[in-house]
């Protein structure tokens, strides 16, 4: 199994996703600032994986605190959360994880500081373990949508590398594959960061799942040819009305799918729901450096000095989404009610 992120001897170890697939390199973080840098620079990326990294970063940061009373310890905790919280704005799992760690401080604030540090570490490790179990459940709920012989189109990487393991969208694919269904995947390369080409193709090949890489502008061609049976993607944040923020280009795929009567599924854990937002218009969209557009793997592909834009995510309106697959079951339109029912008490 691909080991995206783990805690070992009080070190956070993660696979460096910026150099895959050419090199399989692991980086080790001993300090929370290194974890924050790893999230910011996309050494680790994908909403659930960012959440796990944030929790582990907070555990590392608070372990190093010299505070000997709860007031000073809480101040150190707040500073660590501030740094981690400023790394990437769109994936709500980051803020969910900060909330989970804050709840530990609140619950155990009367414990001696050393025991409180242990509780924070335990919660971070638990978030990692739970994420893998959650993804397996997403797979179980989602595999019904894949029929024997289907071809699934996916965008970006919502796989083991984007989570603690197994994946959300690719978890659905894996569960169907494990159930013995014959299937194939069309992976959008996902310009500009190439998560589809570098990561999705790599991890599906690693598992022996039939994958064909296409450039983003080929999706319509394959749909028109009748080659795509369904689309499954992940999500970075889902608003209360079912609008879905995911990697830039997801919206275009959803519009194409609707035109061709192809079902469009979103697979995500409940921690990706942000029911505090009534629509996707309120989701903050990360703007990344234009260098990622003008350069590919460090090589310039555009005239020097050209302006380039780089919104890293877009919002797919709920009307394009056939269903949202979570670990607790499948939400269908109207999402305002179905998502609320799935979230229960755990509302972001
Ligand atoms: O910029 P990234 O690579 O972090 O974006 C990742 C995505 O958009 C994924 O599809 C999403 O986080 C879901 S991952 C299970």
Q: How remote is the CA of residue 15 from the centroid of ligand 1, in Å?
A: 16
Q: How remote is the CA of residue 95 from the centroid of ligand 1, in Å?
A: 15
Average confidence (pLDDT) over 224-236: 98
**Given a cut of 80, is residue 301 above it in pLDDT?**
yes
Residue 204, ligand 1, Cβ within 6 A: no
* Segment 68-117, tens digit of pLDDT: 999 999 999 999 999 999 999 999 999 999 999 999 999 999 999 999 99
Residue 1 confidence class, pLDDT cut points 50, 70, 90: confident
3-state SS string over the chain?
CCCCEEEECCEEEEECCCCCCCCCCEEEECCHHHHHHHHHCCCCCCHHHHHHHHHHHHHHHHHCCCCCCHHHHHHHHHHHHHHHHCCCCCCHHHHHHHHHHHHHHHHCCCCCHHHHHHHHHHHHHHHHHHHHHHHHHHHHHHHHHCCCCCEEEECCCCCHHHCCCCCCHHHHHHHHHHCCCCCEEEEECCCCCCHHHHHHHHHHHHCCCEEEEECHHHHHHHHHCCCCCEEEECCCEEECCCCEEEECCHHHHHHHHHHCCCCEEEECCHHHEECCCCCHHHCCCCECCCHHHHEECCEECCCCCCCCCCECEEEECHHHCCEEEECCEEECCCHHHHHHHHHCCCCC
> Measuring from atom 6 of ligand 1, which residue has the nearest CA?
46
Residues noted as catalytic: 236
- Name the average pLDDT for the chain: 97
* Segment 110-156, tens digit of pLDDT: 999 999 999 999 999 999 999 999 999 999 999 999 999 999 999 99
Q: How remote is the CA of residue 67 from the centroid of ligand 1, in Å?
A: 36
* Segment 22-49, tens digit of pLDDT: 999 999 999 999 999 999 999 999 999 9
What pLDDT score was predicted for residue 224? 98
Residue 163, ligand 1, Cβ within 6 A: yes
CB 101 within 8 A of CB 144: no
Contacts of 342 (CB under 8 A, 6+ apart): 270, 273, 326, 328, 329, 331
> Measuring from atom 8 of ligand 1, which residue has the nearest CA?
247
Q: 42, 43, 155, 157: which to mutate for ligand 1, most atoms within 8 A of CB? A: 157
Domains of the chain, start order: 5-136 (1.20.120.420), 141-346 (3.40.50.10470)
Q: How remote is the CA of residue 265 from the centroid of ligand 1, in Å?
A: 15
30-to-8, 152, 165 alpha-carbon distances in Å: 10, 40, 22
CA distance 121 to 7: 9
What pLDDT score was predicted for residue 2? 85
Residue 198, ligand 1, Cβ within 6 A: no
Residue 93, ligand 1, Cβ within 6 A: no
**Given a cut of 90, is residue 338 above it in pLDDT?**
yes
**Given a cut of 70, is residue 325 above it in pLDDT?**
yes
Q: How remote is the CA of residue 110 from the centroid of ligand 1, in Å?
A: 38
């Amino acid at each position: 199994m691909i080991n995206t992120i783990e805690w070992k001897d009080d070190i956070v170890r993660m696979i460096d996703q910026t150099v895959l697939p050419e090199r399989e390199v692991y980086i080790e973080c001993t300090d929370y600032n290194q974890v924050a840098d790893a999230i910011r620079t996309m050494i680790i990326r994908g909403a659930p994986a960012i959440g796990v990294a944030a929790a582990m970063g907070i555990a590392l940061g608070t372990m190093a605190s010299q505070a000997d009373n709860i007031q000073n310890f809480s101040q150190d905790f707040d500073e660590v959360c501030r740094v981690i919280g400023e790394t990437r704005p769109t994936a709500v799992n980051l803020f969910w994880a900060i909330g989970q760690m804050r709840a530990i401080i609140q619950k155990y604030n009367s414990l001696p500081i050393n025991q409180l540090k242990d509780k924070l570490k335990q919660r971070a490790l638990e978030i990692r373990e739970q994420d893998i179990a959650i993804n397996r459940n997403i797979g179980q709920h989602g595999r019904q949508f894949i029929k024997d012989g289907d071809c699934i189109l996916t965008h970006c990487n919502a796989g083991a590398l984007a989570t603690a393991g197994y994946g959300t969208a690719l978890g659905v694919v894996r569960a169907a594959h494990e159930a013995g269904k014959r299937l194939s995947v069309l992976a959008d390369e996902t310009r500009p960061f190439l998560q589809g080409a570098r990561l999705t193709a790599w991890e599906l090949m690693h598992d022996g799942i039939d994958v064909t890489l296409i450039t983003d502008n080929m999706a319509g061609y394959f749909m028109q040819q009748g080659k795509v049976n369904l689309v499954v993607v992940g999500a970075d944040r889902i608003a209360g009305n079912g609008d879905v923020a995911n990697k830039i280009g997801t919206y275009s795929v959803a519009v194409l799918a609707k035109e061709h009567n192809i079902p469009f599924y979103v697979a995500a854990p409940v921690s990706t729901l942000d029911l505090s937002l009534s629509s996707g218009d309120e989701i903050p969209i990360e703007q990344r450096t234009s260098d990622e557009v003008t350069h590919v793997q460090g090589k310039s592909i555009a005239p020097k000095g050209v302006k380039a834009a780089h919104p890293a995510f877009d919002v797919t309106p709920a009307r394009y989404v056939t269903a949202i697959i979570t670990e607790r079951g499948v939400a269908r339109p109207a999402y305002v009610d179905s998502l609320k029912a799935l979230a229960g008490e755990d509302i972001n």
